[in-house]
Structure 1
Amino acid sequence: QCQNGLNIYDSPQLKDLATQAAANRQLRILPLPLDSQGQLQYPAIPVCIYEDDYPGWLALDDIEQLQPVDAPKPVPTWTAKDIRDRIPKIIAYMKNAMAQPNEYLWGGVIGPNYDCSGLMQAAFRSEGIWLPRDAYQQEAFLQAVPLEALEIGDFIFFGPKERANHVALYLGGSRYIHSSGKTMGRNGIGIDRLPKDGKILADSISQAYAQIIHGAGRAIASYHPTGTPIKPLDANVSPMS
């Protein structure tokens, strides 16, 4: 179990952030990559976050921030109504995050800096609701809903036809809140608008996202971890010399 927030990297060279594990989240240590002498090949160990099955690499120096536990946390069981009742507090969490100085951070989950799906995961986790980590994983997990049937608290997904790569939370009145990167004209959390009746939006950021709407979904349950990494773990790098 993490005693403090920890960075989880996308490779054992620890160059790029994959995600973050907040304090009290639990990690499973995956089989260690050892050389022929039984020594670690990298300055990191492979781990998987228990709550969302998300794999990555933890720096060896951060192992001291882990505390052994006897058993994994019990999986929260929520009904669709339970989750809907918590949406106002989830929105309040996101608006409070927006009110703090922040910028978009790829892999950010802890705050004040988040990526899009990290903000969603953190906001729902603040109410005890577990979600998968990445936008496309969240879309696959949620109940799909048509855009014309959006309700407050639904997820809106963006990206190419092949796979969603961005996510926001619907606030009602055609507005949504999300953490957006510089390439789309903002660097941090903001509120944008959906198009109405196919009209061009005056706001350039909203209009840019309107061109890549992928779909929508609704959280009706908490994610139940499978114990298997939700995606392959990247180790295609050179070992330590």
Structure 2
Amino acid sequence: MNLEQMLPSSASGEYICLKDLDLYSSSKCSSLATQAASNRRLRILSNQVQQEAIEVCLCEDDYPSWLKVEETIYLKPSLEKYQLVNFSHHQIQALLPQVINFTHQSMEVANYYLWGGTVAPNYDCSGLIQAAFSSVGIWLPRDAYQQQQFAEPIPKDELQAGDLVFFSKTPNKITHVGLCLGEGRYIHSSGREIGRNGIGIDELSPDADEVSRAYYQQFHSGGRIVQSYQPTGKKWSRA
């Protein structure tokens, strides 16, 4: 099956999502990789359909994934390519209270941890962080390890509200991320195994409750967002 027979061509090579869309980690579409909120942009990597899905890449964060062919009816050709909005470090600092407020408001709505979730109300850890920053126009890479590579490293004793905290189950792979609130606290969407199955606030301390202690033992590093992600036009290689 050839996609060109089903989807109008786009002069810019990009498409606008007309509704929130689920995107998958493989052409089998059995495991959620991420989500594309309404009005996000994507480009199609191949016109060849595999197992009723097509490979796509989100324009704002270069994130590759698979879209069910039946969902292509919710794509509209974009007349222009995605345009990056640049932010200075000072502008980002001024927007951090709104970023933090987004996470608090998200916590107040009934939610649960969703692997691959980037659209309200259910998020995974990096999905919540990406959504919070994108709510003010600042884009971060999609996954926690990508966000850690993108952020400016910050020592733990210099962390401020709006910085990111990264966690790792093994020394070589970042597996979790949260947003600093100040005074040793951070907000994050954590899973069922050692977390809260949704958005909650924990302390970066070995003397707090069981969940906080478990994550404290996995603390890896801190990071500060000093710029908005600049798309390269090349897809990330998912680890």
1:111-132 deviation line (CA, Å, top 9, x unaligned) = 1000000000000000000100
Q: CA deviation at 1:175?
A: 0.4
Map 1:68-217 → 2, pairs under 5 A: 68-159=77-168, 160-195=170-205, 200-217=206-223
Letter in 1 for 2:125: C
How many equivalent residue pairs? Answer: 223
Aligned to 1:67: 76
Of 17, 23, 27, which aligns to 1:12? 27
Which region of structure 1 is more displaced relative to structure 2, 69-78 or 162-171?
69-78
- Distance in 2, Cα, partners of 1:70 & 1:185: 44
Distance (Å, rounded) in 2 between the aligned partners of 1:132 and 1:232? 11
In 2 relative to 1, CA 144–232 (structure 1 residues): closer, same or farther, beyond 3 Å?
Answer: closer
Normalization by structure 2: what TM-score?
Answer: 0.91
CA distance in 2, matches of 1:150, 1:185: 22
Query: Contact (CA 8 Å) 2:160, 2:180: kept in 1 or not?
Result: yes
Structure 1 equivalent of residue 66 of structure 2: 57
90-99 vs 200-209, greater mean Cα deviation: 200-209
**Counterparts of 1:173 and 1:150, CA distance in 2:** 9
Aligned-residue CA RMSD (Å): 1.1
Return the alpha-carbon distance in structure 2 between the equivalents of residues 140 and 208 of structure 1: 23
The residue that corresponds to 2:42 in the other structure is 27
Q: 1:120 to 1:203 in 2, by over 3 A?
A: same
In 2, Cα distance between equivalents of 1:226 and 1:205: 38
SS in 2 for 1:47: strand
Percent identity reads 48
Q: Which runs of 5+ in 1 are unaligned?
A: 34-39, 234-241
Contact preservation (8 Å) 2:27, 2:50: no
Alpha carbons 2:43, 2:59 under 8 Å: kept: yes
Q: TM-score w.r.t. structure 1 length?
A: 0.90
Partner of 2:228: 222
Q: CA–CA distance in 1 between the matches of 2:227 and 2:43?
A: 23
